[in-house]
Structure 1
Amino acid sequence: MILKTLSTVIMLFAFPLVSNGQSFIDVTGKVVNSNTGEPLQGANILIEKTSFGGASDKNGLFSIRNLPLGNYTISVSVIGYEIEKQLITAESKNIKITFSLTSRTLEGENVVISGSRAVTGKTPIAFSNIDSRTLSEKYSSQEIPLLLDEVPSLYSYSYTGNGMGYSEIKIRGFDATRIAVTINGVPLNDPEDHVTYFYDIADLSGNVQDIQVQRGVGNSLYGTAAIGGSVNILTKGAGTEPGMKLSGTWGSYNTRRLNFSYGTGIINNTYSTYGRFSKLETGGYRNDSGVDSWSYFLSGTRYDRDMTTTFNVFGGPLVAKFAWFGISKDKLEDENERRTNYYSPSESNGFFDEQKDDFLQSHYQLLNDWKVSKNVRLENTLFHVKGDGFFLDYKFNRKPDEYNLVLVDSSRSDLLRKQIVDKWQWGWLPRLTIFRENWSFTIGGELSLFGAKHWGEVTWVKENNLTPPNNKYYGYQTDKLSATVYTHAVYGLSEKTDLIFDLQFQRLNSNFDQEIIGGFRNDYEYSLNYNFLSPRMGINQQVNENISAFANFSVAKREPKDSDVYDANDIDTTPRFGANSDNTLNFDDPLIDAETLYDYELGGMLRNSSGYVKVNIFWMDIRDEIVQTGLRDDIGLPIYYNAKKSVHRGIEVDAFASNSRGFYISGNLSLNDNYFVAYNEVVEYVYDESGNLIPFFDRSDNQIGGFPGYLAGLKAGYRNKAFSSFIGTRFVGRQYLDNSETEALSIDGYNVSSLFMSYDLTEGVKMPLHLQLNVDNIFSTKYETSGYVYYYEGFIPEYIPAAVRNTSITVTVKF
């Protein structure tokens, strides 16, 4: 009896111990870099929906003790890496698990992993990556094109002279209408104009994680065709590190930028949010060419085990004064005269002070990335863009019938006109990728709907009149449908050889309908349809761990922009179509054709742990290239025509070297030879010495105007955790203002230097303060970045001047 009682007591005490051993387990593991296998220290390990968690040590190891039995999701996060989640079942045995985290940038190359991004040693195209630190060092208040001047064969400038206001970007001799720009994979080019209005997204430069510039056709498979190249922008968005920043920039020409940003970091390894608000303004280097804008960027991300979803909202209102027109050569040397702006009321013989561009553009992006399985990935993006605003400018001595006016005491009058636009765009970008051991296959597409209403009003008339306020004098609307289907296949022929095949089909439909009003007495209504089939193929060879080479052939096609076919704001123009037998317009016969590019590329790279050298040779053969004549319309925009055959060819070199002490040097060189093979250029209203109208000029074998013959850059700098600095010089060759290849109608080559210094007191003296100094054009060189010609008893050049020495100081406080 005593023995039985003792046995019962022992069992009662022992049962909880036995139960405890069966009801709880330990989870141990390791966190490593998926590319290198190196351990990751400081990773945050969280058992979701519990209080259990931990962190990895210097060897990447972690342990979580006494986890109750059950099913759990373990999430692991570390700054600079994608969040990784795995499902576990905690049964009777302890669990050992390894997390391989994918870097948000590929080691050494800062390439953000994205379907449209190129990867060194894998993608057979010419490209350059500009990482976040490089961008932040150069950025004070400039628009994005001005931050990309270290990219081979890329030329950029601003009409205001100091980097804010309308900026231009060109690659390999192609202007912005042939350069595809995306933000987080979403096309940014305006569907009507094909250009990207960077000043409508003010301070986006301060919210960029990195930018990849692809030269040539590249990886662009949807949106505006990339003829000259593409600019792929990735925003910072919601990050893994919590914090708040307040930043201010003060610079030359009354330039000011105030910025506030806040990020929550990752909450429970599942959510993160981020917000950024900015105020930017400048007086502009050129007189009365100022910009006044606000901007916002809001982002939220949810991280699930196999899925990441991000929602971005950004935009802001802008008011910008004009500086479209250049100045004559005799004004270039005098410091005050070279700042002349004919839109300025103080310089323009009575120009109205209200001339401006007033616009609000808002962007909405929903991005979803679903890892369906180990071998299948599905990406979907929905986007919406809404823009509305007006363009207000003063016109001299205009006829009343042009503007639907009735004047009492005069047959002509000065007036103020407002050109108004209200536009929207919706789009869907799906992409499905299947991965296997030595190949991958992607099928994707784009569906985009666009609509716009345009109308004009006369808001003020100088002479006595019977015109009511905001008298309407033109109106029209457009709508567009773009549908694209593409395939992208990568086949590993061997461990060192990759083949790539792409095929894209694009269907474009554009409808135009004009209102009968005032002097616009023709109810023009037409539809344009384009079907483009574009194949691409390439090969990448990894000779050894230090040497790689590639070759590719690509075809790209692009339709004319709307104003190439018909400038519907101008009463003196008619749509550019052929004629029927009864002299009516044949809307099935547009006189300006789509252009077709055949792009041949050959390149190679030599690299080691200290740096790299890249060399690329390209030959771009173009049929019906849509080229600028060098002339401008009445608001300063270029006039375009087709060139029957042309060639853009060149050599590009890009190099970088650094040492373990933090010193580095980089350089680039591009030699560009862009010329017409066959082109008869029509220039209206030009007469010979006998007074006879000249129908065209033969430009065959001439250089194509508007792009320098060579571009080069040299930069030397130093970086450590607390301090960084550089000095760089940009060398730019001669560029012709039109296609006549006349030296008197050209811009001389120039070189200009810049200086940067910054000190992060957070790393240095442990104060939450960052100081930055930017000096552009150190030696106050007087130079011109662009220009054009106009005809008045001969061709006369005008020039767009750049700012002399200008300085900015940025102070950032971190909380």
Structure 2
Amino acid sequence: MYFTIVALLFTAIAFSQGTITGTIVDGDSGEFLPGANVVVKGTINGATTDFDGKYSLNVSQSSGTLVISYIGYKTKEISFTATGGKSDLGRTTLEADASALDEVIVTTYSLAIDRKTPVAVSTIKAAEIQTKLGSQEFPEILKSTPGVFVTRGGGGFGDASLRMRGFNSENVAVMINGIPVNDMENGVVYWSNWSGLSDVTSTVQVQRGLGASKLAVPSIGGTMNIVTKSTDAVKGGNVIMTTGNNGYTKYGFTLSTGMLENGWATTIAASKTSGQGFVDGTEFLGYSYFLNIAKKINDNHSLSLTAFGAPQTHGQRQNRLLIDDFRTSERGIKTNTDYGYKNGQFVSIEDNFYHKPKMILNHFWTISDKSNLTTSVYASFGTGGGGGFSGVNKFGKYNLNYRDDEFAPVNLDIIVDENKALGLAGSETILRASRNNHRWFGAISTYSTALTDNIELIGGVDIRSYKGEHFTELTDLLGGEFFIDNGDQNNPGNIARVGDKISYYDEGFTSWLGAFAQVEYSKDNLSAFVSLAASNTGYKRLDYFSYVNTDPERETDWINFFGYSGKGGANYNLDEKNNVFANIGYFERAPFNNAVFLNFRNDINAGAENQKIFSAELGYGFRTSELKLDLNVYRTQWNDRTETVSFQNQDGTFNSANVLGVNALHQGVELEAQYRPTDKLRLTGMISIGDWTWQNDVTGVKIFDDQQVEVDEVDIYIAGLKVGNSAQTTFALGGSYEVLESTTLRLDYNYAGNNYADYDPSARGLSAAGVQAWEMPAYGLFDVGLTHRFDFGGFKASLNANVYNLFNSEYITDARDSNGTASTALVYFGAGTTYTVGAKLNF
């Protein structure tokens, strides 16, 4: 930034020979690149591009060369000739260069480099996120990516689910600036915790399969690395306002200093989002904040501190319904039976509230021209939980004593009156929250050195410590004076009041120590790598309620699992247009916490063992200035998998099954293409065909209710069953066209088919052996968008509009199977037509 300021001052006083103008755009997406540097080679005469990617540069010579650079892209040189007047160089495209992002990501979880890293990869740029996302959930920006299937689940704010190659989020590594996000105990990612990321994200890269990670234990389905704004932030800022259907409203701002003369750079952002939600009873209110402070100490050392979070509360729809129920209800696909009214005020029975701030401190050290050390330390503190009820169930959709009809909101005033009438007997039905608080600390340090001109050695450590606190909190007595709880063995018959812990209370501890080493080779057209990693995962549990205080069994010893991985791959560029790659790997991953401690107690599973994964992949790429095409085939065998399956009972309550020792095979083919026949037109497409199947039956599966009480033990027959709730055939087509110089029109189509209902463990007895789960109807959705850029009072501004599910198609995204038929499956319908209109002012 200091260099740019000096260049601009010099330009202002220089003798003008002519004016050079032009536009800088992204080579893949065609989106404008604001803040790119344009400098006359060999001078300090330069300029930066504006919001529309345009630049204007006065030059004193009649000819020369412009050097165009932008963080994250390959630098480009173009010649110019200026003999008085203006010379327009038109559009200049810059190609992405992941290796240029080393300053803003942790290299222990590196981004893939095109035609070099041998993995299947898709990259989403900030411009696409800002124009397309609107009111969608953050992972929905990936819905046109091969092998990725995203739904909104029950429809609540942040309740989206992401699956990659048939693997759920527990088995997809999600990283923010190279730091892991998946829960340490169960691997789950809750997107409501990261709702503000879209405002500050510069790149999202999805690596399917083994990926390029060097961390101790790689993911199974793939990796998603979110790179936020950092020292690449352009000086300036913006304010945004967006409105949409069902009262959707979002306000926010971003401010960036750019790199100052003293080596400091700061970016801050904040937003507020609220609305009623498309689904009834899913009102939401969320805030987000982001802070990055970077300091370039000298040419060899720099620091970057990032802090972000998104406190939120939102209503949920947990209960699926029969298809006929949605047809019968007056509210149709918006029907939700999980909320009610008390004293005329809205009450969400199944709500969610959480705040998970995360802080990351990065240190980048250039030891020499051959060696670097990158270290990150981080901390996360989560507080919150999800709502529900305890005691007598009065919330079932068939219980007309508390509803005007079976799909109407619950009349909580009736329950209040009943609890009051019980007097000294206490409330028989109350509202509670299942809390899951945690403290998470970690550090990742990576050393890299060039052994020769062609060989690089990378090694490092990955250390994590996690403590999770789990309990039920009484939140509303619903008119009563107290609630009698028998969950605590130290206090049976406890007279509980609001704020007290009931039902269960335990703490889980997780430790992680990993080390990794990788050798990379690159010469001419060949690049290859071999990676080895090892880790020790330890679990410990302390139960305050299930054991009396004097019982030594209330606290376990540490239970340790040793995991390791080995993988390798190679890419060969056949010529300037064609390349091929292959990768192969095997790793063993520690089981999750719930597979180690059985029955929600300190009962240790003596049969718990590592999950075993073997994966292989072949790929082909084709590149020209107009066309980019990628084709790959893969096969992943997963043995000794552990899975927690939550399923719904007819009365609206939920049970869960801890399924151990199940095997699965995931294989398929993926094709992705981008075509730009002209500067104004960009076409995209993809097709993904998968074959994802469970391979064996499992015996002795225990069933628990939502208060962790064992209610049954079953054998489940799932051999040959299709992996559920993940469309195994997806297809997408998209196009954007610059209809006017500052106006772009977008149209996207997404198809999902071969989507099977997930199995219900209680319904997969011997009679269900060989019976395939119900296949949901295939569907295709159209989205349309328009972006218009203009000047407003001397500032650059834009209007952005999106309509999702343009033709209001009716479709089912998630289902729980019963007997393989549509009439008995419990389902979620996807959202109908929704829209957003937003304005953005840049300064």
Decide: shared fold, TM above 0.5.
Answer: yes
Q: Deviations over 1:281-302 (max 9, x none)?
A: 1211111112211111011112
Matches within 5 A, 1:322-471: 322-333=316-327, 336-345=331-340, 353=348, 355-397=350-392, 413-435=428-450, 436-461=452-477, 465=482, 467-469=495-497, 470-471=499-500
1:299–1:312: 8 Å Cα contact kept in structure 2? yes
What residue number does 2:800 align with?
772
Cα deviation digits, residues 451-480 of structure 1 (max 9, x gap): 122222334445665724233222211222
Match of 1:485, as an amino acid? A
2:620 to 595, 601, 604: 604
Quick one: which of 257, 260, 271 aligns to 1:267? 260
Residue of structure 2 aligned with 1:549, choices 580, 583, 586: 580
Kindly state the Cα deviation for residue 695 of structure 1 after the two structures are TM-superposed. 4.4
Question: Which residue, 750, 758, 761 being the options, matches 2:790?
Answer: 761
Matched, 1:488 2:518: yes
Q: Is the 8 A contact 1:239 1:272 kept in 2?
A: no
Please say if residues 297 and 312 of structure 1, whose CA atoms lie closer than 8 Å, have aligned partners that are also in contact: yes
TM-score by length of 2: 0.77
Q: What is the CA distance between 1:796 and its match in structure 2?
A: 3.9
2:718: which partner in 1?
A: 699
The match for 2:679 is 661
Deviation at 1:538, TM superposition (A): 0.8
Letter in 1 for 2:610: A
TM-score under structure 1 normalisation? 0.80
Aligned pair partner of 2:638 in 604, 612, 622? 622
- Superposed CA offset, 1:100-121 (max 9, x none): 9784235524636343211111
Match of 2:60 in 1: none
CA 1:207–1:335 in structure 2 vs 1: closer, same or farther (change >3 Å)? farther
Q: Cα offset for 1:780?
A: 0.1
Q: 1:654·1:669 contact (CA, 8 Å) conserved in 2?
A: yes
Residue aligning to 2:72: 104
Find the partner of 1:251 among 244, 256, 278: 244
Q: Which digits, 9 at most, give the CA deviation of each residue in 1:308-333, with x for residues without a partner?
A: 32111111321121222212111344
In structure 2, the partner of 1:782 is 810
Aligned equivalents of 1:338, 1:57: Cα separation in 2: 53
The question of whether the paired residues in 2 share the 8 Å contact of 1:499 and 1:538 is answered with yes
* Alignment match of 2:138 (pick from 140, 144, 152): 144
Task: Mark the CA change 1:635 to 1:562 in structure 2 (over 3 Å): closer, same or farther.
Answer: farther
Instruction: Specify the SS of the correspondent of 1:118.
Output: coil
Structure 2: tracts of 5 or more residues without a match = 1-9, 11-19, 25-35, 51-65, 75-93, 395-418, 484-494, 705-711, 760-767
- Hey, what's the Cα distance between the residues in 2 that align with 1:607 and 1:42? 23
2:744: which partner in 1? 724
CA 77–793 in structure 1, closer or farther in 2 if over 3 Å, else same: closer
* Partner of residue 570, structure 2: 539
Amino acid at match of 1:666: T
Contact 1:630 1:789 in 2 (8 A): no
Q: For 1:57 and 1:752, how far apart are their aligned partners in 2?
A: 41
Task: Please list the CA deviations of residues 745-802 of structure 1 after superposition, one character each: whole Å capped at 9, or x if unmatched.
Answer: 332111111011101103x996532100010000000112112246999994211121
State the structure with more CA Rg. 1
Pick closer, same or farther for the CA change 1:278–1:519 going to 2, 3 Å.
Answer: farther
Q: Which residues in structure 2 correspond to 1:120-139 (within 5 Å)?
A: 120-139=114-133
Alignment check: 8 A CA contact 1:331 1:338 kept = no
Supply the distance in 2 between the matched residues of 1:456 and 1:312 (Cα, whole angstroms): 33
Using the TM superposition, give the Cα deviation of residue 744 of structure 1 relative to its aligned residue in structure 2, in angstroms. 6.8
Equivalent residue letter for 1:501: V
Q: Which residue of 2 aligns with 1:68?
A: none
Gapped regions of structure 1 (runs ≥ 5): 1-28, 30-38, 44-54, 65-75, 81-97, 400-404, 568-572, 578-584, 687-692
| Cα distance in 2, alignment partners of residues 340 and 42 from structure 1 | 49
Cα deviation digits, residues 569-592 of structure 1 (max 9, x gap): xxxx454x9xxxxxxx5x3x4445
Structure 2 distance, partners of 1:126, 1:697, is: 35
Distance, in Å, in 2 between the alignment partners of 1:485 and 1:730 is 41
- Which residue number corresponds to residue 307 of structure 1? 301
Q: CA deviation at 1:523?
A: 2.9
Q: Which letter maps to 1:600?
A: A
Alignment partner of 1:483: what SS? strand
Query: Where do residues 12-161 of structure 1 align in structure 2 (5 Å cutoff)?
Result: 59-62=40-43, 103-106=71-74, 107-109=94-96, 111=98, 113-114=101-102, 115=107, 116-161=110-155
Contact 2:529 2:568 survives alignment (8 Å):
yes
Q: Secondary structure at the match of 1:177?
A: helix
Distance 1:756 1:794 in 2: 34
1:594-621: CA deviation from partner (whole Å, max 9, x where unpaired): 3111001000101111121110000111
**What per-residue deviation string (whole Å, max 9, x for no partner) do you get for residues 392-429 of structure 1?**
32235179xxxxx9x97769821112323331111111
Identity of counterpart residues, as a percentage? 19
Superposed CA deviations along residues 135-177 of structure 1, whole A, max 9, x for unmatched, are 1121213332111112100001113437x32111000110010
- Residue 708 (structure 1) aligned to one of 716, 721, 727: 727
**1:701 corresponds to which letter in structure 2?**
G
- Give 1:730 deviation, angstroms: 0.5
* Offset, 1:630: 7.0
Alpha-carbon distance in 1 for matches of 2:193, 2:260 = 33
Indicate the residue corresponding to 2:56 in structure 1: none
